[in-house]
Amino acid sequence: MSKAFTKSSDEDDDAPDAPAGPAAGGPIYMTREGWLALKRELDALLRDERPKLVETVAWAAGNGDRSENGDYIYGKKRLREIDRRIRFLIKRLENAQVVDPADQAGLEQVFFGATVVISDDAGASEHRYQIVGVDEANATQGKISWISPLARALLKARVGDVVRFASPSGPREIEILDVAYR
């Protein structure tokens, strides 16, 4: 039977919103800042967004026929999404391994939490990246996930090392100019 004729279910509600690490069930490393951001999101969902939505759904349910009530139908769908995100965040925060980069001061090699200054193979441009957890990665802010190809190439390297990695535009060589833990 075609999926077009089957009713969608809530079975996929437990699907994670982001990968846990290199393999499902792997370590969930994150910085203190990343952990606090997830905690703030969870608190906002539990304290503000979900109660307001429950109130709206209750009001819409009291308006009569629920089968054609857009507020009710959309509200229930959104409520499932919020509940799924809440479950995800709770599991994520419980299983997180928080690594404070400041506690790693004095290390000469690149590890999780390091802020690394690199130069491309031509030496024309410098870039600064911090190696962070999957949930807090944001390339526009210079934060890259520890499982990204660039971060994997940088791990365990030292100042002055030239490392190769596969980028979307092909193989690249970069030189490490500085390693700091802040």
Kindly report the average pLDDT of the chain as a whole number: 85
Q: Which tokens is 163 given?
A: 């490392």
Cα torsion through 161, 167, 172, 176, rounded to 10: -20
Domains parsed from the chain with CATH numbers:
26-98 (1.10.287.180), 101-181 (3.10.50.30)
Q: What's residue 130's pLDDT?
A: 95
Per-residue pLDDT tens over the stretch 166-178: 888 889 899 999 9
- 96-123 confidence digits (pLDDT tens): 999 988 887 678 899 999 999 999 866 6
Please give the Cα distance from 156 to 121 (Å, whole number): 19
pTM across the whole model: 0.76
